[in-house]
């Protein structure tokens, strides 16, 4: 069958988008296995892929997706619970689908290997469907079968321990605090949810404040053995009713638990749902079996009461579900998007740039002509042009969140590969930056993240020995600062070993043996070419290629990279990038006959050289209100000709943590600047970042503040 | 013995609010609950707070609603908040806490 190319293209783009959504949902569902929205999202993705593939006659996709869809459909109706096994399986399904879609792109048919892999996955999926056949053949009308099935094979989906504690009245008098056990417990693992049972506290008059009436229901995630968990309660054993249920216990065990505990069963059921131990559906099954057992007894009313309680359960279930939803508001806002070709956007930005230049020309003419009406009109016009510029640029701005979220998967996979437990914490996901920058930051960021996981975060044994939580934490953060976006990759690992880096650097001849380097300078040596301090070279990183490539990638985006580290506590890598590559707000200054533009975001203040700041004599530093400020005369720096003025001004600029003063002749005010790149000839020039065309047709150079500052630092070093 | 300032329907507890002091405090709280329509407690100076203290606080809240009294917490120290958080009972006291805040805002 011949498919028109653009339709196929649309299909592929759509599939990739759906697969991305599917992956995102799969990663979230591990944390929230019952959320119907997430299950629906996964189902919809599979369903749509199957449907569109069918339209194009791509039988191999349809066939494979069909089984997955059926399993998901069962999950959607609550017949099966999505546990971690099933999630892992679906991630494999997702990956396989991605491979199949790639084949569509290439126009090839899958190899036998791929097909076999698909068949194996299908077989695994069918296990989840096989159960359906069994259950249909034993319809729930046959009470005995149902209860027997639940007591033999029916497991609960939640993969955490469940602890029920009811403390005896003398616990306080024996000098113990129930919460101390909770704190102790949290050292063995993670407390997912803790509910304090206060039902047993008597009325105010009757209560003895020195008796304990408390109890806990705890859902607890841990690798520890049952004995280890049990041992936590050694001191309180005689005084406390303790029930410990391992992960994925059978429904029948929960029934037993509910019967043994003192509270009413509906209340208990609610608590178990609150703890996340049972899903509402599982609770229903527990209670259903309970009520069926009761009907065996001669007294009908009890059965009826229980059935009535069944009637009560839907709102309980609903309430519990609602709460879960509120807690995790992971719902994606319904996307209302138009797909636009990136080239068209670039063209628009380019035109807006020309418009700005033309507008500046017009207002200059208006000023010369001295026509008040025309000047007013051009003022309005330039305000509008400015707004058009901003919204045109905003079109290109995307949130960094999507890029960050991709790392959920990277961290998941790599931590499995390395056998380390690592948690990814994302913040500042809503920070926006230019799309081209986002596209180019992905690879360096992946490298940094992998590097932090491989070398930064220590193996579990080392972490325990150092008294750190077993689970390592990796943080991705983004924020805006002084016209740049800052992206941070932070780990709580071992940090960098200063001595080791220094000796290696000396060995490789990167620094002089007697060089006196600050901590920061030492850390930043790792970005030099051919540098690796890792003792072992692993599959992932440590080959010494990398950090220097990362740095040159970042520098190509007019950005900077730096590293902070505390030995034994972890490191932070900070990437600083310009928000956009095309248009900036500039501050125009004049030196002699030449005009320069300083990016406005970096300008802190302007002062008159003689009135406010005094030269400390060596012509290198100013005393700015008691602060030492390195400064340069742009006239000297760029060797500019022209008349010398009497009153010079200092423009104080800031980039990152550095401040510097630039001495200029004239301050000429704000100006919208379209950055035009300089030709190849000027590639080596560090102090100039580009040029722009002024309204009168003249060319102004744009000062590259970061470049200039490095230059100043270098001069300082070479003098010392 | 805990220091406290008592002003009819206002009870400020300072220092320990633990098993060592609950015996005495219970009598005061109960007395104040019975005598007043509105009752407030200030826990902002509590340095130690344990399960027994928490339990007494729960009793106060429950007792107040049983007796149809208005009860609010005008302040909680970090020790109190951290245990409320750990026990998952912060929402149980939620309305008393927010009420305390809005009251402050008006005043």
Query: End of a domain among A527, A558, A578?
Result: A578
**Per-residue pLDDT for A151 more than 50?**
no
Q: What is the pLDDT of residue A4?
A: 58
Q: Taking 50 as the threshold, does the pLDDT of residue A220 lie above it?
A: yes
Confirm or reject contact between B81 and chain A (CB < 8 A).
no
Q: Summarize pLDDT for A15-32 with one digit per residue, the tens.
A: 888 888 888 888 888 777
Mention every residue, 6+ apart, whose C-beta is less than 8 A from residue A552. Answer: none
A465 φψ region: left (φ > 0), alpha (ψ -120 to 50), beta (else): alpha
**What sign does the CA torsion over A553, A554, A555, A557 have?**
positive
Same domain, A588 and A658: yes
The minimal CB distance from A194 to the residues B19, B25, B88 is found for B88
DSSP element (H, E) containing B4: strand B3-7
**Predicted local distance difference test score (pLDDT) of residue A298:** 40
A394 and A492 in a common domain = no
Residue A69 annotated to the active site = yes
**A211 pLDDT above the threshold of 50:** yes
From the list B25, B59, B88, the residue facing A207 with the nearest CB is: B59
Distance from CA of A177 to the nearest CA of B (A): 6
Question: Which domain, by its residues, includes A55?
Answer: 5-137
Question: pLDDT, tens digit, for every residue of A616-641?
Answer: 556 677 877 878 888 888 888 888 87
Note the pLDDT tens digit of each residue in A510-523.
777 777 778 877 88
> Which domains, ranges and CATH numbers included, belong to chain B?
3-106 (3.30.750.24)
Among A23, A24, A69, A282, the one annotated catalytic: A69
Q: Which has more confidence, A138 or B92?
A: B92
What per-residue confidence (pLDDT) applies to A11?
Answer: 80
> Model confidence at A412, in pLDDT bands (50, 70, 90)?
confident
How many Å apart are CA A162 and CA A207, to the nearest integer? 29
DSSP A238: G
Instruction: Please check whether residue A423 is in contact with residue A472, taking contact to mean a CB–CB distance below 8 angstroms.
Output: yes
Other CB atoms within 10 A of residue A77 CB: 11
Q: State the angle between helix axes of A265-274 and A280-295 in degrees (0 to 180), rounded to the nearest 10.
A: 160
Residue in A with minimal Cα distance to B60: A204
> What CA–CA distance (Å, rounded) separates B68 from B58?
15
Percent composition of chain B: helix, strand, coil (DSSP 3-state, to 5)? 50, 30, 20
- pLDDT for A477 equals 92
Query: A214: which chain B residues are within 8 Å (Cβ-Cβ)?
Result: 51, 54-55
* Tokens at A718, concatenated: 């070479």
The alpha carbon of residue A209 is apart from the nearest alpha carbon of chain B, in Å, by: 6
CB contact B3 to A (< 8 Å): no
The catalytic residue among A405, A451, A477, A649 is A451
State the greatest distance between any 2 C-alpha atoms of chain B, in Å, as a whole number: 36
In a domain? residue A382 = yes
% of chain A at pLDDT higher than 90 = 1
Inter-chain contact A209–B63, Cβ cutoff 8 Å? no
Q: Which of A546, A578, A610 is the last residue of a domain?
A: A578
- For testing the chain A interface, which of B54, B56, B87 should be mutated: the one with the most A CBs within 10 Å? B87
Q: Do A713 and A608 fall into the same domain?
A: yes
Taking residues A302-318, report their average pLDDT. Answer: 44
Instruction: Name the band, by pLDDT with cuts 50, 70 and 90, for residue A156.
Output: low
CA atoms within 13 A on the CB side of A308: 6
Same domain? A529 vs A393: no
If asked whether residues A379 and A459 sit together in one domain, one would say no
Q: Nearest CA of chain A to the CA of B34: how many Å?
A: 10
Chain B interface mutation, best of A204, A212, A276, highest count of B Cβ atoms under 10 Å: A204
What integer pLDDT is reported at residue A708 of this predicted model? 83
Which CATH number is A315's domain given? Answer: 3.30.70.1110
* Interface touch A209/B26, C-beta < 8 Å: yes
Min distance B95 CA to chain A CA atoms (Å): 17
Kindly state the tokens that stand for A229.
Answer: 């968990």
Q: Does B70 touch chain A (CB under 8 A)?
A: no
Residue range A361-389, pLDDT digits in tens: 888 888 888 888 888 888 888 888 888 87
Contact status of B62 with chain A (Cβ, < 8 Å): yes
B56–A209: do the CB atoms touch at under 8 Å? Answer: yes
pLDDT: which is higher, A120 or A157: A120
Per-residue pLDDT of chain B (107 residues; tens, 9 = 90+): 444 444 567 888 888 888 888 888 888 888 888 888 888 888 888 888 988 999 998 888 888 888 888 888 888 888 888 888 888 887 777 666 644 444 444 43
Tell me the pairing of strands A215-222 and A189-197. Answer: antiparallel
Range A531-548 average pLDDT:
51
Contact A570, A493 (CB under 8 A): yes
Domains contained in chain A, number = 5
Contact A194 B87 (CB under 8 A): yes
Q: A302 falls in which pLDDT band (50, 70, 90)?
A: very low
Instruction: Between A386 and A135, name the one with better pLDDT.
Output: A386
- Name the closest residue on chain B to residue A216, using Cα atoms: B87
- The reply to whether A459 falls in a domain is yes
Q: Quick one: closest CA in A to B30, which residue?
A: A204
Q: Does residue A142 belong to any structural domain of this protein?
A: no
Q: Whole-angstrom Cα distance, residue A505 to residue A573? A: 20
- Report the mean per-residue pLDDT for chain A: 76
- Of these residues, A47, A103, A243, A480, which one is catalytic? A47
Q: How far apart are CA B27 and CA B46, in angstroms?
A: 18
Pick from A578, A612, A632: which residue ends a domain?
Answer: A578
SS3 label, residue A677: coil
| DSSP for A583-628, written as a single string | EEEEEEEEETTEEEEEEGGGEEEEEEHHHH-EE-SSSSEEEETTEE
pLDDT greater than 50 at residue A136? no
Per-residue pLDDT, A578 = 75
Closest chain B C-alpha to A203 CA, distance in angstroms = 6
Q: In what order do the strands lie in the sheet with A560-566?
A: A422-427, A472-481, A484-491, A570-578, A560-566
Its ipTM equals 0.81
pLDDT digits (tens, 9 = 90+) for A241-263: 888 888 777 777 777 777 777 77
**Predicted pLDDT of residue A535:** 46
Contact B62 A209 (CB under 8 A): no
Report how far residue A201's alpha carbon sits from residue A505's, in angstroms, rounded to the nearest whole number: 67
* C-alpha dihedral (A494, A498, A504, A507), degrees to nearest 10: -170
Per residue in A561-598, pLDDT tens? 888 888 778 888 899 887 666 667 789 998 888 889 99
> What's the CA dihedral at A149, A150, A155, A157 to 10 degrees?
120
Residue A73 confidence (pLDDT) above 70: yes
Inform me whether the pLDDT recorded for A489 exceeds 60.
yes
Q: Domain check: are A573 and A587 in the same one?
A: no
Residue A664 lies in a domain: yes
A511, A566: one domain: yes
Residue A96 appears among annotated catalytic residues: no
Residue A455, φ and ψ in degrees, nearest 5: -100, -35
Which of the given ranges, A9-13, A410-414, A425-429, has the highest pLDDT on average? A425-429
In this predicted structure, what is the pLDDT of residue A418?
Answer: 81
- Give the pLDDT score at A146: 34
- Give domain status of residue A291, yes or no: yes
């Amino acid at each position: 069958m011949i498919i028109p190319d653009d339709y196929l293209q649309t299909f592929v783009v759509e599939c990739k988008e759906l697969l991305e959504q599917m992956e995102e949902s799969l990663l979230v569902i591990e944390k929230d296995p019952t959320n119907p929205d997430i299950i629906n999202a996964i189902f919809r993705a599979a369903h749509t892929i199957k449907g569109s593939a069918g339209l194009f006659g791509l039988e191999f996709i349809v066939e494979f997706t069909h089984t997955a869809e059926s399993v998901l459909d069962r999950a959607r109706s609550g017949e099966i619970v999505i546990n971690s096994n099933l999630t892992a399986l679906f991630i494999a399904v997702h990956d396989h689908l991605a491979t199949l879609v790639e084949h569509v792109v290439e126009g090839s048919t899958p190899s036998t290997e791929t097909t076999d892999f698909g068949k194996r996955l299908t077989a695994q999926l069918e296990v989840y469907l096989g159960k359906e056949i069994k259950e249909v053949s034993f319809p729930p009308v046959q009470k005995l079968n149902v209860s027997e099935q639940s007591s033999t094979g029916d497991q609960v989906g939640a993969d955490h321990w469940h602890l029920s504690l009811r403390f005896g009245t003398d616990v306080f008098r024996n000098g113990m605090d129930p919460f101390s056990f909770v704190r102790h417990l949290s050292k063995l693992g993670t407390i997912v949810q803790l509910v304090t049972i206060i039902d047993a506290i008597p009325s105010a008059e009757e209560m003895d404040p020195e008796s304990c009436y408390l109890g806990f229901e705890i859902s607890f995630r841990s690798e520890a053995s049952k004995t280890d968990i049990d041992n936590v309660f050694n001191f309180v054993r005689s005084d406390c009713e303790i029930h410990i249920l391992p992960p994925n216990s059978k429904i029948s065990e929960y029934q037993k638990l509910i019967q043994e505990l003192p509270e009413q069963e509906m209340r208990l059921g609610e608590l178990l749902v609150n703890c996340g131990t049972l899903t509402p559906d599982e609770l229903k099954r527990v209670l259903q079996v309970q009520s069926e057992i009761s009907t065996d007894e001669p007294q009908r009313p009890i059965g009826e009461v229980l059935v009535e309680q069944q009637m009560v359960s839907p709102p309980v279930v609903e309430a519990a579900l609602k709460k879960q939803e509120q807690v995790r508001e992971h719902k994606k806002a319904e996307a209302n998007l138009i797909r636009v070709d990136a080239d068209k956007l670039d063209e628009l930005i380019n035109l807006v740039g020309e418009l700005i230049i033309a507008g500046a020309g017009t207002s200059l003419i208006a000023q010369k002509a001295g026509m008040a009406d025309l000047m007013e009109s051009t003022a309005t016009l330039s305000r509008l042009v400015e707004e058009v510029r901003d919204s045109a640029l905003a079109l290109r701005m995307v949130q960094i969140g999507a890029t960050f979220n991709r790392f959920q998967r990277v961290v998941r996979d790599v931590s499995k590969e390395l056998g380390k437990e690592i948690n990814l914490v994302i913040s500042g996901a809503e920070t926006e930056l230019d799309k081209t920058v986002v596209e180019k930051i992905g690879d360096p960021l992946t490298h940094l993240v992998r590097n932090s996981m491989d070398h930064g975060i220590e193996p579990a044994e080392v972490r325990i020995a150092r008294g750190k939580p077993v689970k390592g934490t990796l943080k991705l953060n983004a924020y805006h600062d002084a016209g740049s976006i800052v992206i941070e990759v932070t780990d709580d690992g071992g940090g960098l070993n200063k001595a080791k880096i220094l000796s290696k650097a000396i060995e490789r001849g990167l620094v002089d043996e007697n060089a006196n380097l600050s901590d920061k300078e030492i850390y930043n040596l790792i970005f030099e070419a051919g540098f690796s301090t890792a003792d072992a070279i692993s599959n992932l990183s440590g080959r010494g290629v990398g950090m220097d490539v990362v740095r040159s990638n970042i520098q190509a985006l007019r950005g900077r990279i730096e590293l902070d580290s505390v030995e034994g506590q972890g490191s932070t890598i900070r990437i600083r990038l310009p928000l956009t590559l095309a248009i900036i707000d500039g501050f125009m200054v004049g030196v002699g006959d030449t005009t320069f533009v300083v990016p406005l975001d970096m300008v802190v203040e302007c002062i008159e050289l003689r009135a406010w700041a005094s030269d400390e004599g060596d012509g290198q530093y100013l005393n700015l209100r008691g602060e030492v400020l390195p400064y340069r005369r742009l006239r000297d720096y760029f060797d500019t000709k022209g008349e010398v003025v009497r009153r010079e001004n200092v423009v104080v600029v800031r980039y990152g943590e550095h401040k510097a003063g630039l001495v200029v002749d004239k301050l000429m005010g704000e100006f919208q600047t379209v950055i035009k790149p300089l030709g190849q000839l000027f590639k080596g020039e560090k102090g100039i970042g580009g040029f722009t065309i002024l309204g009168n047709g003249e060319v102004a150079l744009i000062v590259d503040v970061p470049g200039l500052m490095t230059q100043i630092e270098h001069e300082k070093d070479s003098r010392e | 013995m805990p220091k406290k300032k008592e002003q009819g329907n206002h009870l400020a507890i300072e220092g320990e609010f633990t098993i060592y002091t609950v015996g005495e405090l219970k009598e005061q709280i109960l007395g104040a609950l019975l005598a007043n329509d509105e009752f407030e407690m200030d826990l902002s100076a509590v340095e130690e707070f344990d399960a027994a203290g928490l339990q007494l606080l729960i009793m106060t809240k429950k007792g107040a609603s049983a007796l149809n009294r208005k009860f609010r917490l005008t302040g909680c120290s970090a020790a109190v908040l951290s245990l409320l958080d750990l026990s998952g009972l912060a929402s149980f006291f939620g309305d008393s806490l927010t009420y305390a805040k809005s009251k402050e805002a008006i005043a």
